[in-house]
Chain A
Amino acid sequence: NAGVTQTPKFQVLKTGQSMTLQCAQDMNHEYMSWYRQDPGMGLRLIHYSVGAGITDQGEVPNGYNVSRSTTEDFPLRLLSAAPSQTSVYFCASSPFGPASSYNEQFFGPGTRLTVL
């Protein structure tokens, strides 16, 4: 099993550009989520999905879109990149959502994004 994979590993964008961060998992997990990690701050939830066709907003959803057409894939789209979106982005999956008592999240290796 590859676990959770993310592409690209690094990306530089100019302000106003759009792009899609890819995330895939091969563990047949229903729950997937996107986080951003900034220096001096904890991981913050952007969007999450409890299954194919179902997505919802997290703590910091503005400027990002998601869709979930398959169980395996959960791409994150930046609509019009801004310098404030410079961050490290992590995708995670788990067999159950956070509401499950024994849920463990499996994180991808991250995408380091810089917006100039």
Chain B
Amino acid sequence: KNQVEQSPQSLIILEGKNCTLQCNYTVSPFSNLRWYKQDTGRGPVSLTIMTFSENTKSNGRYTATLDADTKQSSLHITASQLSDSASYICVVRASGYSTLTFGKGTMLLVSP
């Protein structure tokens, strides 16, 4: 069964600090992995997409990594800001399939 596990479930960090969120998946065969940011009371918004051939991709202060061999991805946030407080959701697509597998998300709180 395709699964996406995210850790930690929740995280509190001080403003200005860095943090890393993890996503482990069992989706096979792998096609791509997307990270979404969901602000409280809003719909998810895509941050970045990782394909099989990509190891690292940055979007401003967000850097995603992918290790397709170990089936792990991480989202690193540098110099956190209060506006980074949100839920971060990992979504994986299997090649040849029309469905997506969603993780439960990591709730990040950036404290002043």
Contact = CB atoms under 8 A, between A and B. Distances in A.
A107 interface: yes
Contacts of A43: 44, 89, 102
Instruction: Report, as a range, how many residues of chain B touch the other chain.
Output: 20 to 34
Interface stretch (B13-21, B45-53, B59-67, B71-79): B45-53
A75 interface: no
Nearest to A58: B99
Q: Is the interface of A mostly helix, strand, loop or mixed?
A: loop
Interface of B: 4, 31-32, 34, 41-46, 49, 51, 89, 93, 96-105
A34 B105 CA distance: 18
Nearest to B44: A107
Given A43-B102, A99-B97, A101-B51, A92 B34 contact: no
A58 B34 CA distance: 20
B18 to A, nearest CB: 26
B46 A45 contact: no
B42 A110 contact: yes
